Structure 1
């Protein structure tokens, strides 16, 4: 991939993520009690099992994602990113992660003709199961990353109250 194409992919990805953040805010896609529970061993155990059954084939058994996840593949799509601390999952609030997982990128952001390998789990997993999977993922992050993620959630919640 040449430098200009790589820059274009990064720019488009950043734009899509910014749009998704705004789409989530304006459409208010939220699950009641969607706060992740990485310290609840029962929820995390359920999430681990569901992750293995529904997510690991793309995102990896150890949350490592697919190789070259920041570069488009032959189909022009971005491979599955890691969900460990090396990826960008922890940069997004609980509500955004929940919405992306439940509705998928295209539906949540109302993007027509957007192709992605990431399925929407609405109708496959319940809201509680989605929360369990996301709780499992968060439980695997180092404490410093979990703390930064909690701070993002707190700041976002404060902004939404204003």
Structure 2
């Protein structure tokens, strides 16, 4: 069975699970569905705090692999063209919390500036920037290995 079909069936089955409690409103993106409130919060936080460096759509700048005159790497893209999708959600969250590793980049630590809910939401928003194909690779090759 192909992976897209498995993912689609899994999402459909999970959507029908649970009790009769009110389910959050979801917003679709390709084969994925997100809690609309989380995605909206993540986009708001991203545009206010991250887009200036990483680009409005996560595209960053083309020279992100070349160290600047300060010896540090520029902000990487967070869309499909970058490397973010090679890392598990927990790593992405830690990067937001702690900022760039010393001497590697200029990303500040957002711990104490953003709430845990805002950080979770922005990580969710970043994953929404990825195509279905990249998101599926992330789920099957990266995220599942962490569980």
- Structure 2 length as normaliser, TM-score? 0.73
The structure that has the greater radius of gyration is 2
Residue 115 to residue 150, structure 1, CA distance change in 2 (3 Å): closer
Partner of 1:91: 86
Residue 38 to residue 73, structure 1, CA distance change in 2 (3 Å): farther
Deviation track 1:19-76 (CA, whole Å, cap 9, x = no partner) reads xxxxxxxxxxxxxxxxxx9612210111001001100000001111123000011111
Q: Is the 8 A contact 1:85 1:141 kept in 2?
A: yes
User: Secondary structure of the residue that 1:123 maps to in structure 2?
Assistant: coil
Q: Is the 8 A contact 1:38 1:44 kept in 2?
A: no
Instruction: Name the Cα RMSD after superposition.
Output: 1.6
Shift of 1:145: 0.9
Aligned residues: 115
Instruction: Report the Cα distance in structure 1 between the residues aligned to 2:84 and 2:36, rounded to whole angstroms.
Output: 21
Residue 57 to residue 44, structure 1, CA distance change in 2 (3 Å): same
Q: Which is bigger in relative contact order (C-alpha 8 A, separation at least 6)?
A: 1
Query: What residue ranges of structure 2 are gaps of 5+ in the alignment?
Result: 1-31
Is 1:139 aligned to 2:114, yes or no? no
Partner of 1:82: 77
User: Secondary structure of the residue that 1:125 maps to in structure 2?
Assistant: coil
Q: Is the 8 A contact 2:98 2:111 kept in 1?
A: yes
Runs of 4+ in 1 over 3 A off after TM superposition: none
Structure 1 counterpart of 2:66, from 56, 71, 86: 71
Partner of 1:101: 96
Q: Is the 8 A contact 2:75 2:105 kept in 1?
A: no
Greater strand fraction, Structure 1 or Structure 2:
2
Residue 38 to residue 68, structure 1, CA distance change in 2 (3 Å): farther
Instruction: Report the Cα distance in structure 2 between the residues aligned to 1:94 and 1:117, rounded to whole angstroms.
Output: 21
Residue 57 to residue 38, structure 1, CA distance change in 2 (3 Å): farther
Greater helix fraction, Structure 1 or Structure 2:
1
